[in-house]
Amino acid sequence: MTVRNPVEWGWTQLGRAASVIGMAGPALHHIQETIHSPAPDVRRIGINDIREAIARGVDDFGAYRTDVVFVCLFYPIIGLVLARLAFTNDVLPLLFPLASGFAILGPFAALGLYEMSRRREQGQPATWANALDVLRAPSIGAIAVLGLLLVAIFLTWLGAAWMIYELTLGPASPVSIAAFASDVLTTPAGWAMIALGMGVGFLFALLAMTVSIVSFPLLLDRDVGLDTAIRTSIRAVTMNPVPMAAWGLVVALALAIGSLPLFLGLVVVMPVLGHATWHLYRKVVAR
**Does the N-terminal peptide bond of residue 271 adopt cis geometry, omega within 30 degrees of 0?**
no
pLDDT for residue 84:
66
Rounded alpha-carbon distances, angstroms, from residue 217 to 84, 165, 214: 32, 36, 6
Structural domain count, the chain: 1
What is d(CA 123, CA 130) in angstroms, rounded to the nearest whole number?
A: 14
pLDDT for residue 122:
85
Q: Cα 204 from chain centroid?
A: 11
pLDDT tens digits, the chain, 287 residues: what are they? 444 445 555 556 556 555 545 545 555 556 665 676 778 999 999 999 999 999 999 998 888 776 566 555 666 666 666 666 656 556 778 878 887 777 888 888 888 889 888 888 888 877 767 677 777 777 888 898 899 999 899 989 989 999 999 999 878 878 777 888 888 889 999 999 999 999 999 999 999 999 999 999 999 998 888 999 999 999 999 999 999 999 999 998 888 887 776 677 777 888 899 899 999 999 999 87
102 close to 82: Cβ distance less than 8 angstroms: no
pLDDT for residue 48:
95
Collapsing DSSP to helix, strand or coil, 175 comes out as coil
Alpha helix (H) residue ranges in 37-172: 47-63, 65-72, 74-88, 95-109, 111-121, 140-168
What is d(CA 64, CA 58) in angstroms, rounded to the nearest whole number?
A: 10
Burial profile 178-189: b = 16 or more Cβ within 10 angstroms, e = fewer:
eebeebbeeeee
85 close to 2: Cβ distance less than 8 angstroms: no
217 close to 284: Cβ distance less than 8 angstroms: no
Range of the domain at 38: 4-284
pLDDT for residue 76:
62
pLDDT for residue 219:
92
pLDDT for residue 177:
77
